[in-house]
Amino acid sequence: MKKLYNLPAKILSTYGGHGIVDAVLMPNTIDEFVTAMTTERGLFVLGGGSNTIIPDGKNNLKILSTKLLDEVVFDKDEVRVQCGAKLPRLIKECSLRGLGGLGFLAGVPASVGGATRMNAGAFGREFGDYISKMTVLSADCVVKDIYPPYNFSYRQGVDDIVIEVTLRLQSSTREQCERECQIHQNMRRAKQPKGRSIGSTFKNTGLGAGYYIDSLGLKGLTIGGAQISTKHANFILNLGDGSAQDFLSLVEVAKTGVREEFGVELQEEFIFLGEQ
Ligand SMILES: Cc1cc2nc3c(=O)[nH]c(=O)nc-3n(C[C@H](O)[C@H](O)[C@H](O)COP(=O)(O)OP(=O)(O)OC[C@H]3O[C@@H](n4cnc5c(N)ncnc54)[C@H](O)[C@@H]3O)c2cc1C
């Protein structure tokens, strides 16, 4: 097990920030992962960090990073993939073998574990629809296999710790898979900003979180080093030196404004590892 100390948020979270995390454990094997999760207290499991905001300053957080658990094994139209494997690599490897289906998530910097926990989705499709088996560590510390149907919903996947998943994909050609990825990436680029963020800040509701925030004229609002994107109001960008507090202040402005103007309560899509 690799152990690292005093790691900056900018290498753990795609938003970045000013946090310094006390300890990060990185298991090399599933056995080490399960042992750590069953014996150590207060570990937060981190995948790609693409939906996680880390509190500013030096903190006492203990993170277990799944980064090194990234085995990907193909068997006909199925792929068994460990929780720490990143979606961009997985999707690329699937495309090379002519296995399609996941192209709607091209460009999402998530890990497989995070995508399963959050039931990552886009363009009307969800990651959970492709899972034919999950191996999880349950709250009562039992490793078990779970099969569909799953009780997933919008941005709500499994509650257990994900060890690995098997995905059933669609037999296709490499060219078609690459085209599927390209089309979805082009649609993303047309609508979403470049730069450091955690993707959508709020879950979509009613007319869309971005619509409400935009209607208040909040696009471009900047606090410290964070900004509500001028391109898509549901994205908050780190302009370079943005802190978690800058991010949370913008969240508060947007939530309060939307509540007062539209009577709509926006729900955070991201995970904040501190106290609000
Ligand atoms: C540029 C950009 C675009 C994005 N586009 C989309 C999009 O189109 N659709 C979408 O749904 N999201 C999108 N996101 C948000 C994000 O990628 C997803 O929420 C993703 O599912 C998070 O995965 P992660 O591995 O980075 O999770 P992390 O941020 O590491 O963790 C998120 C949550 O998952 C849990 N988790 C991580 N690994 C495991 C595991 N092995 N077992 C159990 N729980 C685990 C964490 O404890 C935490 O609760 C985007 C983000 C960015 C930066």
What tens digit of pLDDT does each residue of 172-188 get? Answer: 999 999 999 999 999 99
Residue in 125, 155, 174, 188 annotated catalytic: 155
The reply to whether 252 belongs to the active site is no
Going from the Cα of 169 to the center of ligand 1, the distance in angstroms, rounded, reads: 21
Residues 148 and 185 in one domain: yes
Whole-angstrom distance, CA of residue 185 vs CA of residue 40: 40
Asked whether 166 lines ligand 1 (CB < 6 A), one says: no
Q: What's the domain range around 242? A: 209-272
Going from the Cα of 253 to the center of ligand 1, the distance in angstroms, rounded, reads: 24
Whole-angstrom distance, CA of residue 131 vs CA of residue 169: 9
Residues 61 and 93 in one domain: no
Going from the Cα of 128 to the center of ligand 1, the distance in angstroms, rounded, reads: 13
Measured from the Cα of 83, ligand 1's closest atom is 41
Percent of the chain with pLDDT over 70: 100
In a domain, 85, yes or no: yes
The predicted pLDDT at position 275 comes to 80
Asked whether 118 lines ligand 1 (CB < 6 A), one says: yes
Asked whether 234 lines ligand 1 (CB < 6 A), one says: no
Percent of the chain with pLDDT over 90: 99
In a domain, 204, yes or no: no
Residues 50 and 151 in one domain: no
In a domain, 30, yes or no: yes
Q: Name the residue of 117, 156, 189, 197 to mutate for ligand 1: max ligand atoms within 8 A of Cβ.
A: 117
What tens digit of pLDDT does each residue of 134-166 get? Answer: 999 999 999 999 999 999 999 999 999 999 999
Protein residue whose Cα sits closest to atom 21 of ligand 1: 115
Residue 233's CATH number = 3.90.78.10
118 contacts 131 by C-beta, under 8 angstroms = no
Residues 23 and 107 in one domain: no
Residues 56 and 88 in one domain: no
Residues 187 and 77 in one domain: yes
Whether pTM > 0.95 for this model: the answer is yes
Element holding 248 (H helix, E strand): helix 244-262
In a domain, 38, yes or no: yes
Residue 140's CATH number = 3.30.465.10
What tens digit of pLDDT does each residue of 99-133 get? Answer: 999 999 999 999 999 999 999 999 999 999 999 99
Angle at the Cα of 126 from the Cα atoms of 122 and 129, rounded to 5 degrees: 155
Tally the domains of the chain: 3
The predicted pLDDT at position 191 comes to 95
Going from the Cα of 126 to the center of ligand 1, the distance in angstroms, rounded, reads: 13
b/e map 13-38, b = 16+ CB within 10 Å:
bbbbbbbbbebbbbbeebebbbebbe
In a domain, 198, yes or no: no
Query: pLDDT band for position 276 (50/70/90)?
Result: low
Q: Please identify, among 191, 218, 247, the residue that sits at the C-terminal boundary of a domain.
A: 191
Residue in 13, 50, 172, 200 annotated catalytic: 200
What tens digit of pLDDT does each residue of 199-228 get? Answer: 999 999 999 999 999 999 999 999 999 999
Protein residue whose Cα sits closest to atom 13 of ligand 1: 199
Residue 9's CATH number = 3.30.43.10
20 contacts 58 by C-beta, under 8 angstroms = yes
Residues 36 and 89 in one domain: no
Q: Return the sign of the alpha-carbon dihedral for residues 99, 101, 106, 109.
A: negative
Query: What is the average pLDDT value for the chain, to the nearest integer?
Result: 97
* pLDDT (average), residues 228-243: 98
